Amino acid sequence: MGMCTLIVPLNVRLRVTENARSDGRSQPGRDETWEPSFRTGSISKRCMPLQVIDVQTVIDRCDDPWFNQTLCRVNDSVVRLAVLQGGYHWRTHQAEEEFFFVLEGRFMIDLEGRTIELAPRQGFTVPMGVMHRPRAPERAVVLMVERASIVPTGD
């Protein structure tokens, strides 16, 4: 009651109806259509404050081996959800840091000279300018916090 649930499955148009104001009083319904783009799932419209994001539904509906969904924007950063299995290419971000937080599975970040292995409820920040390669030997679900300027399909 009062909050809408944002459910953004891969490659599906989403219609969200919001029928409450931030002060809790009801208002006439307002429909908005958000279209996630294929595979990266970026939302064409900024997530509005005071909405519930149903992350579990996004996870449950994902069957791609590598999926990245922008959940919301926080100041100059975005929170992204990745459901992945396999490896990604080596990359570096000269002016941005990346934070990875594992929700499910096992996630690895290869750095030059060592590998960071993360289990559920563990996180790691890759500093700017550090060459790294994320990978998941088995299906993993990871939250990432990074600047909005980082392209989720690589740089």
The confidence score (pLDDT) of residue 64 equals 84
The confidence score (pLDDT) of residue 98 equals 94
Q: What is the mean pLDDT of residues 125-143?
A: 95
- Residue where the block lists tokens 């924007």: 73
Domain spans of the chain, in order of start = 5-147
pLDDT at 34 over 50: no
Taking only the tens place, the pLDDT of each residue in 65-115 is 888 888 998 888 999 999 999 988 899 988 999 999 999 999 999 999 999
Residue 152's pLDDT band (boundaries 50, 70, 90)? low
CA distances from 142 to 5, 9, 10, 23, 122 (A): 20, 16, 16, 33, 10
What residue ranges in the chain does DSSP mark as E strands?
Answer: 5-6, 14-20, 26-34, 52-53, 66-74, 77-87, 98-104, 107-111, 114-118, 123-126, 132-147
Residue 30's pLDDT band (boundaries 50, 70, 90)? very low
pLDDT at 41 over 70: no
Yes or no: say if 90 and 132 are a contact pair by the CB < 8 Å rule: yes
- Using a pLDDT cut of 90, give the percent of the chain over it: 42
The confidence score (pLDDT) of residue 85 equals 92
- Beta-bridge mates of residue 101: 123, 143
105: helix, strand or coil: coil
What are the residues whose beta carbons fall under 8 Å from the beta carbon of 23, sequence distance 6 or more?
A: none
Radius of gyration for the alpha carbons in the chain, expressed in angstroms and rounded? 17
Superfamily for 5-147?
Answer: Jelly Rolls (2.60.120.10)
